[in-house]
Amino acid sequence: MLRFLVRRLLGVAAILLVVSLITFYLFFAASGEDSVVRLSCGKNCTPEMRETVRHNLGLTKPLLEQYWIFISGIFAGRNIGEKTCNFPCLGYSFANNQNVSHTVADRFPTTVSLAIGAVVLFMTLGIGLGILAAMRRGKKTDKVATGFALLSGSAPIYVLGPLFIYLFVQQLGWMDRPQYHQFTDDPFQWASGLLLPWICLMTIHMAMYVRLTRSTMVDVLSEDYVRTLKAKGLSGRSVYIKHAFRGALSPIVTVLGVDIGVLMSGTIITESTFSLHGIGMLAVTSVTDSDLPMMMGVVVIAASFTMLANLVVDLLYAVIDPRVRLS
Amino acid sequence: MAASTDTTADQPTGKAETAKKAGAPARSDGSDAFLSVRDLRVHFSTDDGVVKAVDGLSFDVEKGRTLGIVGESGSGKSVSSLTILGLHNREKTKIEGEIRFDGRELITMPERKLRDLRGRRISMIFQDPLTALSPFYTVGEQIAESYRRHLGANRSDAHARAIEMLDRVGIPNPKTRVNDYPHHFSGGMRQRAMIAMSLVCDPDLLIADEPTTALDVTVQAQILDLLRDLQDEFGTAILFITHDLGVIAQMAHDVLVMYAGRSVEKGTVREVLKNPRHPYTWGLLSSMPNLSGDVDVPLRPVRGTPPSLLAPPPGCPFHPRCDYADVVGGERCRTEPPLLALSEGRGTACHLSAEDKQRIFIDDVRPLLG
């Protein structure tokens, strides 16, 4: 178990190195350097000014050396100009000179809040409807639930979002325009401010869980051991929830791991639809600004969460299914 | 019946069986039997038509006795047993007839009431104990679950009961094994655990659907011994379903031979195995290798294949495979389904006259059995 964990964490570190190196390289390959220098230098840029900018941004050194400075800086901290940047140092933004770590930390609660609420909603409703559909398979409930899932899953968020805002905010006036409030300030405001984006995310993600839960449960229900459970005289609830759903958990957790990774990396479209400033929006602006340190920061954070979510999923497999051995 | 080639102790000699089963209660006249199935018909509707899986089956199981149902795959053995517990697919199955258990009619019994019987008064063991046990819960939890469900025991009592049952079925170190998962158990141990689970509420009737088919021969013998011992101890009636006549010889007091959803021969195990009277039973017996006699006696399998239950042959369903259809005069075998005439629990569904049966058995069949 411990060996498994250590090995997997080493793997995560290795993949992070590769991912960050590729991002770093792609920035230069896509001549992000030119555009960032042009942005900083302005219209009347002389070659001397240009060199000064490059020097100030630390772009004069060889690529690998720059990469090494970035990586070692994360752990050891580094000095950039007059500013000191402590662990975990991801550098300073090219665009606004902000400390990248601080900016990311600043934006992160929005993304986490979006993710948590959405996950809770789509898991509850998706799995609930899936179980219901499996229990009543072939009947009306099943058809309504799977049909609803199909419909909701095929609505893109950039259609759904504006539609919801138009309907619930502008026409019916049931809620305010989505806004992020700190949970610690006022949990109620936090929840009501994020309700619309949560519902949107739930609507598009839920479909997957309805269909996955339903189909895996139907598979499990045809297993021999389910017949044994019925022969033991167990009630329907016991057969479906305690046993059949337990058998369907592994695939659900697999998909959930991927989804959490995606949500933590920032839901770009959702955030921009509802003008929420999370990691997703940060990713977009850093790319349009050719803001290398910010880009690197976002990529490293997003990649870490994706991989951690998958590591947790692998650990959960062993908890869910006693036949699984971690090795 | 190739599957019986690997059994050694199961020649239908009946010696072991008479000694072991001497203590069984005598057969009653059948009308007030503990489990009584009358003219059971189970029809499935499929896309291709109606499958008559069971077509007019009648039998009785008495307290403390074992009825063995034997037949090829698809003869309706398992379907009948699932129907008793109401475990068939209710939407696609049409059931007619009577299943009376301890004076109560099971076919019309609502699901809720059936559930209270399942596992409590009638329980079941299945063929493959690996797939029949949930991989997600410990063996102990699965045994305790039944006990808690039916007897309202609390967690710790049920756990203690599970240990007791594991001990009873001969699992070593039951106190530690109770917390193991099925995949930690060997095949034989799993079947023991399955038996422990089925007997945890001390049921009156145990339905064993090919319980030893998935096990190797030595383990098979152990499991049969265990079932017999437990039957002596608990007085459980057993409905034992198998395709293996050797197992029947060791386990059953009474035998019912099924073919194409009907019973073709019925009697005590001695009667049916020593003096079979139906051509199909002859076929089953002569297709079994005889390990105690000459080794060069050829096996004589039943020719042909079992009929489609979608469109069973008219008349006697066995006639296309029967060597003696022509002995019976006229077209009777092809047109008129034979009825199982019972006298004192013994009966054969065949148009052959009693004299012909006797003659053919002595002249043609017995030499093959050694």
**Domains of chain A by range and CATH?**
2-99 (no CATH), 101-320 (1.10.3720.10)
Residues A54, A59, A61, A63, CA torsion sign: negative
A239: closest chain B residue by CA? B134
Tell me: pLDDT of A53 over 70.
Answer: yes
Whether the CB of B134 is below 8 Å from some CB of chain A: the reply is: yes
- C-alpha count within 13 angstroms, C-beta hemisphere, residue A260: 20
Tell me: pLDDT of A157 over 90.
Answer: no
- CA–CA distance, B209 with B82 (Å, rounded to integer): 9
Tokens representing residue A133 in the block: 């559909």
Q: Give yes or no for a contact between B140 and B164, defined as CB atoms under 8 angstroms apart.
A: no
- Tell me if residue A160 falls in helix, strand or coil: helix
Tokens representing residue A90 in the block: 């991801």
- Tell me if residue B69 falls in helix, strand or coil: strand
Beta bridge partners of B98: B38
Do residue A247 and residue B136 have CB atoms under 8 angstroms apart? yes
Q: How far B116 CA sits from the closest chain A CA (Å)?
A: 6
pLDDT at B29: 45
Give one DSSP letter per residue of A262-277, joined into a string: HHHT--HHHHHHTT--
Query: Using a CB-CB distance cutoff of 8 angstroms, which residues of chain A are in contact with residue B123?
Result: 231-232
Phi-psi sector, B116: left (phi>0), alpha (psi -120 to 50), beta: alpha
Long-range contacts of A221-224 (CB under 8 A, 24+ apart): A221/A134, A223/A247, A223/B131, A224/B126, A224/B128, A224/B131, A224/B132
Angle at B28 between CA B22 and CA B29, to 5 degrees: 140
Average pLDDT, chain A: 89
- CA–CA distance, A109 with A101 (Å, rounded to integer): 13
| Phi/psi at B156 (5° precision) | -75, -35
pLDDT at B293: 65
pLDDT at A156: 86
Length of chain B counted residue by residue: 370
pLDDT at B1: 39
- Where helices occur in chain A by DSSP H, the ranges are 2-29, 32-41, 47-57, 63-76, 100-135, 140-153, 157-164, 187-221, 224-231, 236-237, 246-264, 268-273, 279-288, 292-320
Q: Residue range A226-250: average pLDDT?
A: 92
Q: Residue range A263-285: average pLDDT?
A: 89
Residues B18, B21, B22, B28, CA torsion sign: negative
pLDDT at A80: 76
Q: Which of B203, B284, B280, B208 is nearest to B241 (CA)?
A: B208
Residue A80's CB is within 10 A of a number of other CB atoms, namely 18
Do residue B118 and residue A223 have CB atoms under 8 angstroms apart? no
Whether the CB of B202 is below 8 Å from some CB of chain A: the reply is: no
Q: What is the pLDDT of residues B211-235, one digit of tens each?
A: 988 888 888 899 999 999 999 988 8
In one-letter notation, the amino acid at residue B330 is: G
Q: How far B118 CA sits from the closest chain A CA (Å)?
A: 5
Whether the CB of B323 is below 8 Å from some CB of chain A: the reply is: no
Q: What is the pLDDT of residues A80-137, one digit of tens each?
A: 777 788 888 888 888 888 899 999 999 999 999 999 999 999 999 999 999 999 999 8
Q: Give yes or no for a contact between A290 and A36, defined as CB atoms under 8 angstroms apart.
A: yes
Name residues 60-89 of chain B within 8 A of A (Cβ): 82, 85, 87
Tokens representing residue B92 in the block: 């696609």
- CA–CA distance, A295 with A284 (Å, rounded to integer): 9
Tokens representing residue B113 in the block: 């009431």
- CA–CA distance, B266 with B282 (Å, rounded to integer): 13
> Band of the pLDDT at A219, cuts 50, 70, 90?
very high
pLDDT at B165: 94
pLDDT at B370: 64
- CA–CA distance, A196 with A276 (Å, rounded to integer): 12
pLDDT < 70 positions in chain B? 1-32, 290-295, 297, 370
Question: What residues contact residue B60 under an 8 Å CB cut-off, 6+ apart?
Answer: B30, B33, B34, B35, B36, B37, B67
pLDDT at B295: 67
Name residues 171-230 of chain A within 8 A of B (Cβ): 223-225, 227-230
- The reply to whether omega before A88 is within 30° of 0 (cis) is yes
- CA–CA distance, B94 with B199 (Å, rounded to integer): 30
pLDDT at B253: 94
Question: What residues contact residue A240 under an 8 Å CB cut-off, 6+ apart?
Answer: A131, A134, A135, A217, A221
Q: Residue range A254-263: average pLDDT?
A: 92
Q: Residue range A274-283: average pLDDT?
A: 91
The radius of gyration computed from the CA coordinates of chain B, to the nearest angstrom, equals 21
B124: closest chain A residue by CA? A231
- Tell me if residue B205 falls in helix, strand or coil: strand
Q: Give yes or no for a contact between A256 and A119, defined as CB atoms under 8 angstroms apart.
A: yes
Q: Which of B283, B279, B277, B337 is nearest to B313 (CA)?
A: B337
- CA–CA distance, B170 with A232 (Å, rounded to integer): 22
Question: What residues contact residue B58 under an 8 Å CB cut-off, 6+ apart?
Answer: B37, B38, B39, B40, B263, B340
Tell me: pLDDT of A49 over 50.
Answer: yes
Tell me: pLDDT of A238 over 80.
Answer: yes
Q: Which of A233, A247, A321 sits opposite B149 (nearest CB)?
A: A233
Domain regions of chain B by residue span: 130-200, 276-369
Question: What residues contact residue B328 under an 8 Å CB cut-off, 6+ apart?
Answer: B351, B352, B356
| Phi/psi at B125 (5° precision) | -120, 145
